[in-house]
Structure formats: C-alpha cells, structure tokens
C-alpha cells in the first residue's frame, strides 16, 4: 500500500463535494488577490514604475498565471495516494514560473526585471500559504456504513474512519459517508443515505474511497469492477499516444547516441549481443517483441523464464547499474513508436508468466485493457514483483491505474519515476 497518504486530499470523490469546491475556489481567489496586492505594493516601494505601465502589467499577469497553474496542478496531484502536494511544490513552481519567464523574454514584450524578480519571490510564498490554509480547512472523520466492503477501510486508518452502528451520524466532526454502492442496504439505511444526500452530505463509494487512499483496487471485490464503465477515454489515449511519440522523436538526437554508448559498454564487459529481445504480452493479450539493453549473462534463461532476485548472479556489473537507473528500458522507445507500448502503463509480462497468473489470479487480463508501459503506477508505488503474492499486490495497483487513467495520474507517475530513478526503488 502507498505510504504516507493524506486522506482528505486523497479521497477524490470528496474533492467533488460543494464544501471542497468552495474551499478550493475560495483559497485560489484569495491567493490571486494576495499575489496581486503584494506584488503591486512591493513594486511601488522598490521601483518607480506606475501600476498602469506595460512593464508592470505584463509581469503581474504572468505571475498570476504562474500562481494559478501551480495551484491547480498541486491540487490535482495532491488527490493521488501517497502524495503530499508540498513535495511537488518546487518542481511545479519551477516549471510554471520558468515557462512564464521564458514567454515574457522570448516574445520580447515589455517587462521590468525588478518586478519579475519580485513576482518570482512572492508567488512561491503565496502558493505555500494557500496549501497550508487548505490543509488546515480539510479536517474531520468519515462515517462508514457497515455493509459490504468496509473492513479494509477501518484497518487503513481507524482514526479517520468509524463504523456506524445505527442509521444516523454519531460524530459531530463527520465530513462524509462511505457506503458500498453495490450492496443492497436495508430500508432504514437507504432512508438514512437519502436524507443525508438531501443535506448535501458527501456520500462516496467505499471501494472507490479505499482505492483513493491505498492506490490499489481490492482484488476480492468484483462487484465494483463489473458495475462501472472501465474503458479509458479513447480521446485521451489517442492524445497520449501522439504526445508520447512526439516526445520520443524530439529526444532521439540525445537518446540514440546515449543508447549506443551504453550498448558498447555492455558489449565490452561480456560476450554476446548488446541488445536483448524478449516476447511480452501487451494490449488485448497480444504478444510482441520487447527490446532491452542486455543486463544479464547470455545464458540467464537457459532453464526457462524466471524472476530476477536480489543480488541475482546472472546480472552483470554494468547491468546492475543500468537496471537501477532504468537505462536498460530505453530501447523500448522503439516499441512505443511501433504502437506496442506506451511511456506510462502496466509493465508487460512474459507470456509464460501471464498464462500462469491467469490460472490463479482472477481478472488478471484486466491489466491488458491499455498498452503496457516503460514505467507505471505499480512500479513507482510497489516496486518489483518476484512471486505470486507480490504479483497480486502489483496487479491491485495496475487495476487502480487502468480505472483512474488520466493526464494528472500520468503526470504524477512521471514525477515519481524521476524519484525512482534517483533512488533505485524496486530495481533488481
């Protein structure tokens, strides 16, 4: 399970409640007002520019746009399990403000360097203050209806979730109700839910709530899987494919020489080909040839396909490094251009493992709804799977990704992938 989750921001359905929307919109508008006021007053003190001067107005608008983009991005990333928006503040603000600064400079619109520096200093401070304010406003506990799927929620955090023993709210600090939407409730409990809905009390599906704070789908609860539309947006999948292919083509002048250099090093260290081709299972259960830089001895699968273990003797010295940094996956850029894979998605497994898992793990093929990826939600939250039990856990994370596939989730995975590469998390 994802560690260190912030329950209030992770419960995505709660973020759609009137209270949450009011809090978010109010804090954003308050932040815009504070940014504009502080930048204006500071500029009057330290510069001689009038507030109607184009040099001031252009920078002010750019700063407000930078703040707005950062605030919205942090809000959306903060909804995913294990995320604390504060940890994303520096990279998000850096990208946002540098983009605005580059636009101002390269379009050669009039601007003041002094006002620009003031804006670059004030926007991060106001963004941090808005985040802390919103965090302090999101408090309270969630009442859980004791039917169907609910035990796992209580085990996750008994301080935030409490079970109702009768159809009425028993705690004054209750901010929402969690109920298994696939469970047939007794009449008095149905009446209770209807009355709370009429009072605008947020009522959320317990399985969805569990997913939102754990980052995985419960494999032993199939009703929720069968009761919802599971196919991801085809419009987003098309846009995702175009964007990922474009990024790969743009990075080719750098990636190709780097891959060749690593391949030469692999070739010099050990006999055999520098590249490794392996059959994997992709979208729709179709097999394809996946390309990797060889990180093991050439006889690594002489006894058939097998998982890599800790300190696996089959891994070469260079192989250990490139596996830790995920460099051995770079040739899969070609798989993405061919349409076999995506940059982000469930990792493709070998056909032998897929056949075995399909026999013992129900709904295993659900992960084949989307194209497999070089990196994915399971890789950055769970790490490597080396046996059937770990594969079940990894599959639960894959289910979560497929059901919640979106631009924001892919962006979150991209941020986590950078951290994973730097720490070597899950590499074997």
Please write the tens of the pLDDT for every residue from 158-181: 888 999 999 999 888 888 899 998
Q: Is the model more confident about 181 or about 61? A: 61
CB 325 within 8 A of CB 357: no
SS3 assignment, position 343: strand
Task: Kindly tell me if the per-residue pLDDT of 79 is higher than 50.
Answer: yes
According to the model, what pLDDT value does residue 178 have?
Answer: 93
Residues 6+ apart with CB under 8 A from 280: 287, 288, 289, 290, 348, 349, 350, 351, 372
Residue-wise pLDDT tens digits, 115-157: 999 999 999 999 888 888 877 777 788 999 999 898 988 888 8
At residue 195 the predicted structure's pLDDT band, cuts being 50, 70 and 90, is very high
Task: Kindly tell me if the per-residue pLDDT of 243 is higher than 90.
Answer: yes
According to the model, what pLDDT value does residue 238 have?
Answer: 93
Question: What is the pTM for the complete model shown?
Answer: 0.82
According to the model, what pLDDT value does residue 17 have?
Answer: 58
CA distance 307 to 164: 45
Q: How do strand 287-293 and strand 275-281 relate by DSSP bridges?
A: antiparallel
SS3 assignment, position 426: coil
According to the model, what pLDDT value does residue 245 have?
Answer: 95
At residue 299 the predicted structure's pLDDT band, cuts being 50, 70 and 90, is low
């Amino acid at each position: 399970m994802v560690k260190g989750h912030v329950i209030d921001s992770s419960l995505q359905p709660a973020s759609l409640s009137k209270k949450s929307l009011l809090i978010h919109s109010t804090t954003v508008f308050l932040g815009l007002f504070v940014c504009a006021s502080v930048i204006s007053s500071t500029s009057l003190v330290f510069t001689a520019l009038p507030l109607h001067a184009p040099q001031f107005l252009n920078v002010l608008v750019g700063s407000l746009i930078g703040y707005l983009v950062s605030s919205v991005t942090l809000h959306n990333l903060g909804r995913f399990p294990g995320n604390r928006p504060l940890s994303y503040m520096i990279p998000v603000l850096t990208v946002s403000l540098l983009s605005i600064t580059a636009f101002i400079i390269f379009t050669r619109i009039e601007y003041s360097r002094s006002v620009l520096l003031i804006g670059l200093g004030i926007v991060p401070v106001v963004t941090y203050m808005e985040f802390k304010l919103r965090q302090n406003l999101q408090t309270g506990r969630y009442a859980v209806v004791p039917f169907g799927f609910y035990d796992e929620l209580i085990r996750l955090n008994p301080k935030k979730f409490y079970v109702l023993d009768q159809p009425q709210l028993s705690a004054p600090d209750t901010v929402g109700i969690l109920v298994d939407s696939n469970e047939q409730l007794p009449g008095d409990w149905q009446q209770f839910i209807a009355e709370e809905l009429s009072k605008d009390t947020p009522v959320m599906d317990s399985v969805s709530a569990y997913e939102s704070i754990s980052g995985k789908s419960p494999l032993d609860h199939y009703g929720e899987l069968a009761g919802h539309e599971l196919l991801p947006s085809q419009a987003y999948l098309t846009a995702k494919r175009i964007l990922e292919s474009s990024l790969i083509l743009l990075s080719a002048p750098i990636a190709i020489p780097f891959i060749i250099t690593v391949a030469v090093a692999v070739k010099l260290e050990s006999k055999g080909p520098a590249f490794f081709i392996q059959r994997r299972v992709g979208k729709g259960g179709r097999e394809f040839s996946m390309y990797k830089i060889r990180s093991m001895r050439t006889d690594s699968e002489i006894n058939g396909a097998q998982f890599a273990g800790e300190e696996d003797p089959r891994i070469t010295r260079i192989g250990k490094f490139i596996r830790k940094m995920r460099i051995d996956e770079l040739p899969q850029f070609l798989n993405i251009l061919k349409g076999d894979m995506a940059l982000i998605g469930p990792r493709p497994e070998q056909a032998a493992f897929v056949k075995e898992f399909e026999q013992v793990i129900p709904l295993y093929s659900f992960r084949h709804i989307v194209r497999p990826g070089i990196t994915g939600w399971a890789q950055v939250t769970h790490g490597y799977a080396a046996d059937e039990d770990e594969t079940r856990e990894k599959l639960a994370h894959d289910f979560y990704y497929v059901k919640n596939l979106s631009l924001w989730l892919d962006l979150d995975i991209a941020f986590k992938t950078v951290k994973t590469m730097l720490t070597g998390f899950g590499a074997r």
